[in-house]
Amino acid sequence: MDQAADDWVPHSAHWGAFSARWNGATLDVTPYAGDPAPSPLLQNFSNAMRHKARILRPMVRKAWLDRRARSERTFDQKFVACPWDEVLDLLAGELSRIKTEHGGAAVYGGSYGWSSAGRFHHAQSQVHRFLNMAFGGYVRSVNSYSAGASAVILPHIMGGYEAISRHNVTWDQVAEHSDTVLAFGGMAVKNSDVASGGVSRHIERAAMQRAARRGAIFYNVAPLRDDMPEEAGGRWVPIKVGTDVALMLALAHTLLVENLWDSGFVARYCTGFEIFERYLLGRDDSIPKDAAWAANVVGLPATAIVDLARRLPRGRTLITVSHSLQRAQYGEQPVWMGAVLAAMLGQIGLPGGGYHYALGALGHTGRRPNAVPIPTLPQGKNGVADFIPVGRVADMLLHPGERFDYNGRAMRYPDIKLVYWAGGNPFHHHQDINRLRRAFNVPQTIVVHESAWTPMAKFADIVLPATMTLERDDIGAAATDPRLVAMRKAVDPIGEARDDFDIFADLSRRLGVEQAFTEGRSSRQWLTHLYEPTRRALLDAGWDAPDFEAFWRRGELELPSAPDDGGFLSAFRNDPVGKKLPTPSGKIEIYSKAIAGFGYDDCPPHPAWLPSTEPPDVRHPLTLIANQPATRLHSQLDFGAYSQSKKIAGREPVRLHPADASRRGIKNGDIVRLFNDRGACLAAATLSHDVMQGVVQLSTGAWYDPEVGAADRPLCVHGNPNVLTRDIGTSRLAQGCCGQVTVVECEKYQGTLPPIRAFDPPEQA
Ligand code: PGD
């Protein structure tokens, strides 16, 4: 029975802090009063709790139960409801069988995903802890779909990704000090609306507005005008998609030949400039990377490039590079070249200046870190050494035993028999979904914990219904947000849904290792236990340090922030010998001997212009930007009220320039078919001058909805762009995903419009 709720309870999600009240049918949501710009994504909760897409009870694929696992998995097969006791016995038996017959290295528990939760019930943390503590280990994944290339290149050239993206120039510094912000990939606030763990105050718009009012100029180098909020009053620099490195090189060339660069900074703080300089000036290939050369590549007049370069040394200049640029082939290069351009300007480590990778890419960038630790669930130790870069999951399943390169290592893909997923949706996040379908047909068993019938759940064999965050107590916190939230349960779990923790605790008992997983604690005892290090640190520093029960009653706790000190880059500037960078040379590496030693042709030892191997052509003349959505987080709550309110005829909107539309006879609101050799999807045309000509923009996150009965490469009738994207690594260095850009053609859809079935539960046997 639903909990009768007369009270508002505090809660928090990846899209912000809020209060919630269950009114018996839907959820009333009020954003945290201290948030100056709450995210509209919170409204997706209102109708989500009892939506038909929720999973009500444990279900098992009938074909798998019949042990006809070798018959292909499809999205149309039936499921059988199974009581909890039986399904957990079945799963414990299957886990034991796989371990006995094949060992832990046959289980892929990389289980990537952003499920919104507090610090304890985070599904990815729970599944990893279970597989470590109760199962003895599993094949893990490293890095992320967000920052696959940057997380690997940055430690070679400057320092750790976390430090550069989270403890660097702050929004306050931008507001007070920056004169020019040159933002490659823009700084769209739809991205900073979101932060894992949540942020209580969305400050980005206000900071950009303060800076702009002071006279700062923001340059939005992007194919989409709205990649920067209006508050920034930004100047749009629309360059051809994926050509940022060419523009950066030309800016660097102008700085060099006009002697506008800071040679003193480069000599003192960097290494390898002489080798890069030869490349920049074209000494070896006879191609100076000057403005005239870049003009054709990027689609800007050479004079505009030179003018922009001349502005950069005037005043305080910040170079930012967004996540999106590195989610593409050779994505390491813009991250590296952005840092080199900033180094040539000599302002790295100064307030509001220098280089900030990923400023605004998430809500926790550009803020001061907390001065005390936040609650963290220990993950245990993994007994299996094998791992893959996260974006290579389909390669691994399709090519067991095959060799691949990663960051200087020659590795082999493990042979996976069982896949265990909790808190993620690969049929949303992975590229080339038709290939992914083939890959997910390889393992013998797929287990998924989900709160909704996502395509990943529909493709699994054993599906266990998980609670959503509002159905359980938790602690909300992020390392750069000063508010700890007592996330109270607002509504009883739907159907037979259980917390991931309770599911894993019961499974552990069946495997005879319950104590190892639970450590004898209930959920509530875990919350108290995880809160303790925060309380102790507060107490030691002489701050308000209530005990857990007092915090819980209060509903929130303000945490102190560390000083706005610019992090390790500022320390390095002040003391380059005592506070060396964690790179091999201790300096900013403009040339990397380590990368040179790897001998990768797709990641040279200094930043370079490498054009995509799949440029637009006659058959696919349009470049598709498959970016983060503004109406939901990834694919989460795509059935939510806000996400649904922006669909057109139930389809995801695709934006295109009116000139491209008229050439194809497409009008506003028409259903169109986007296609290339990998696949096709439907979407609803929205004509816009905010999109460059030659570009179409379809956000990720519409649940994959394959047309009924179609065999090999079915049309996605809903609008998931990952049926079109390329499943290749960024390079042999990082092997990050390339989901951001691909080439397509677009035509008006002439057939009868197929129904949307994305949110329907599967048929029950
Ligand atoms: P989400 O939709 O957030 O996507 O990919 P990710 O898999 O993280 O999936 C989270 C899932 O967790 C949801 O299905 C939700 O229902 C489920 N869930 C929520 N709460 C719980 C819970 O308590 N327990 C359990 N068991 N499940 C729960 C995101 C990934 O996509 C990311 S981070 C990026 S940056 C990439 N971006 C792009 C891109 O820019 N372009 C393309 N083409 N592709 C991308 N894919 C990547």
Nearest to 116 by CA among 504, 558, 500: 500
- pLDDT for res 413: 98
- The pLDDT of 728-738, averaged and rounded, is 98
Q: Provide the pLDDT confidence category of residue 5 given band limits of 50, 70 and 90.
A: very low
In a 13 Å sphere around the CA of 635, the CA atoms on its Cβ side amount to 30
Beta pairing partners, 764: 79
Alpha carbon separation from 317 to 179, 218, 249, 353, 417 (Å, rounded): 6, 10, 17, 5, 52
Q: How far is the CA of 728 from the centre of ligand 1 (A)?
A: 19
- pLDDT for res 712: 81
Q: CA–CA separation, 350 vs 573, rounded Å?
A: 8
SS3 label, residue 656:
strand
Q: Provide the pLDDT confidence category of residue 503 given band limits of 50, 70 and 90.
A: very high
Atom of ligand 1 nearest to the CA of 425: 7
In this structure, the strands spanning 27-31 and 59-61 are unpaired
Alpha carbon separation from 449 to 57, 144, 388, 664, 731 (Å, rounded): 11, 20, 22, 43, 32
Q: Provide the pLDDT confidence category of residue 3 given band limits of 50, 70 and 90.
A: very low
- The pLDDT of 483-507, averaged and rounded, is 98
Residue 49, number of CB atoms within 10 A of its CB? 22
- pLDDT for res 711: 72
Beta strand extents in 351-510 (DSSP E only) = 354-357, 387-389, 403-406, 409-412, 418-422, 445-450, 462-465, 474-476, 483-487
Q: Are 249 and 234 in contact (CB under 8 A)?
A: no
Residues with CB under 6 A from ligand 1: 112-117, 121, 123, 144-146, 327, 422-425, 428-429, 449-452, 454, 466, 468, 500, 626-628, 633-636, 700, 721-722, 725, 739-740
The helix (run of H) or strand (run of E) holding residue 129 is helix 123-133
Active-site residue, from 15, 64, 108, 112: 112
Q: Is 543 known to be catalytic? A: no
Largest CA distance in the chain: 76
DSSP 520: T
Instruction: Give the chain's length.
Output: 765
Beta pairing partners, 57: none
Q: Are 212 and 46 in contact (CB under 8 A)?
A: no
Nearest 5 degrees, angle CA 729-CA 735-CA 739? Answer: 45
- The pLDDT of 580-604, averaged and rounded, is 98
Beta pairing partners, 389: 142
pLDDT at 719 over 70: yes
Q: CA–CA separation, 504 vs 422, rounded Å?
A: 11
pLDDT tens digits for range 119-135:
999 999 999 999 999 99
- pLDDT for res 68: 60
Residue 278 carries which side chain, given as an amino acid letter?
R
Q: How far is the CA of 636 from the centre of ligand 1 (A)?
A: 6
Tell me the average pLDDT of the chain. Answer: 96
- pLDDT for res 197: 87
Q: Residue 217 — φ and ψ, nearest 5°?
A: -110, 125
Alpha carbon separation from 599 to 143, 307, 407, 483, 520 (Å, rounded): 22, 37, 11, 47, 51
Q: Provide the pLDDT confidence category of residue 70 given band limits of 50, 70 and 90.
A: low
Q: Provide the pLDDT confidence category of residue 71 given band limits of 50, 70 and 90.
A: confident
Q: Are 239 and 305 in contact (CB under 8 A)?
A: no
SS3 label, residue 74:
coil
Q: Residue 611 — φ and ψ, nearest 5°?
A: -70, 150
Q: How far is the CA of 634 from the centre of ligand 1 (A)?
A: 5
Under 8 Å CB-to-CB from 30, ≥6 apart: which residues?
Answer: 8, 18, 19, 20
Atom of ligand 1 nearest to the CA of 740: 41
Taking phi over 0 as left and psi of -120 to 50 as alpha, with beta for the rest, 334 belongs to: alpha
- The pLDDT of 406-419, averaged and rounded, is 98
Q: How far is the CA of 55 from the centre of ligand 1 (A)?
A: 17
Nearest protein Cα to ligand 1, atom 45: 429
Beta pairing partners, 686: 655
Q: Are 167 and 748 in contact (CB under 8 A)?
A: no
Pocket test for ligand 1, best of 390, 428, 468 (most atoms within 8 A of CB): 428
Residue 348 carries which side chain, given as an amino acid letter?
I
Under 8 Å CB-to-CB from 405, ≥6 apart: which residues?
Answer: 411, 598, 600, 732, 733, 735
Nearest protein Cα to ligand 1, atom 9: 424
Nearest protein Cα to ligand 1, atom 46: 429
pLDDT at 2 over 60: no
Tokens 């371990």 found at: 99
- The pLDDT of 171-197, averaged and rounded, is 96
- The reply to whether 150-361+567-590 and 622-748 are identical in fold is no
pLDDT at 487 over 60: yes
Alpha carbon separation from 416 to 105, 352, 677 (Å, rounded): 7, 48, 28
Helical ranges in 558-617 per DSSP H: 567-574, 593-598
CATH 3.40.50.740 fits 59-145+385-477+499-558, yes or no: yes
Q: CA–CA separation, 523 vs 126, rounded Å?
A: 12
Atom of ligand 1 nearest to the CA of 144: 33
CATH 3.40.50.300 fits 150-361+567-590, yes or no: no
Nearest to 10 by CA among 20, 22, 25: 20
pLDDT tens digits for range 199-256:
999 999 999 999 999 999 999 999 999 999 999 999 999 999 999 999 999 999 999 9
pLDDT tens digits for range 612-655:
999 999 999 999 999 999 999 999 999 999 999 999 999 999 99
The pTM score is 0.97
Q: Are 143 and 151 in contact (CB under 8 A)?
A: yes
Helical ranges in 418-467 per DSSP H: 426-429, 433-439, 455-458
Atom of ligand 1 nearest to the CA of 430: 46
SS3 label, residue 654:
strand
Beta pairing partners, 648: 651
Taking phi over 0 as left and psi of -120 to 50 as alpha, with beta for the rest, 63 belongs to: alpha
Q: What is the DSSP string of 499-518?
A: -HHHHHHHHHHHTT-HHHHH
Q: Residue 183 — φ and ψ, nearest 5°?
A: -105, 100
Q: Is 8 known to be catalytic? A: no
Taking phi over 0 as left and psi of -120 to 50 as alpha, with beta for the rest, 276 belongs to: alpha
Residue 301, number of CB atoms within 10 A of its CB? 11
pLDDT at 69 over 70: no
First to last CA, the chain: 26
Q: Are 217 and 235 in contact (CB under 8 A)?
A: yes
Pocket test for ligand 1, best of 12, 112, 114 (most atoms within 8 A of CB): 114
Pocket test for ligand 1, best of 450, 469, 489, 724 (most atoms within 8 A of CB): 450
Q: Residue 118 — φ and ψ, nearest 5°?
A: -85, -160
Q: How far is the CA of 407 from the centre of ligand 1 (A)?
A: 25
Q: Provide the pLDDT confidence category of residue 522 given band limits of 50, 70 and 90.
A: very high
Under 8 Å CB-to-CB from 127, ≥6 apart: which residues?
Answer: 109, 111, 420, 421, 422, 423, 449, 500, 504
Pocket test for ligand 1, best of 150, 425, 627 (most atoms within 8 A of CB): 425
Residue 681 carries which side chain, given as an amino acid letter?
C
pLDDT at 6 over 70: no
- HEC states along 230-295? HHHCCEEECCCCCCHHHHHHHHHHHHHHCCCCCHHHHHHHEECHHHHHHHHHCCCCCCCCCHHHHH
Q: Domain segments of the chain: what residues?
A: 59-145+385-477+499-558, 150-361+567-590, 622-748
Q: Residue 538 — φ and ψ, nearest 5°?
A: -65, -45
Active-site residue, from 15, 64, 114, 138: 114
Q: Are 46 and 27 in contact (CB under 8 A)?
A: yes
Residue 117 carries which side chain, given as an amino acid letter?
A
Residue 33, token pair as written in the block = 């009063």
Q: What is the DSSP string of 397-409?
A: HHSTT-EEEETTE
Q: Provide the pLDDT confidence category of residue 1 given band limits of 50, 70 and 90.
A: very low
CA dihedral 307, 309, 313, 314 (to 10 degrees): 20
Nearest to 644 by CA among 723, 719, 574: 719
Residue 229 carries which side chain, given as an amino acid letter?
P
Q: What is the side-by-side strand order in the sheet with 474-476?
A: 474-476, 483-487, 556-558
Q: CA–CA separation, 554 vs 515, rounded Å?
A: 32
Q: Are 759 and 453 in contact (CB under 8 A)?
A: yes
Share of the chain above pLDDT 90, in %: 97
**CATH class of the domain defined by 622-748:** mainly beta
- The pLDDT of 509-530, averaged and rounded, is 98
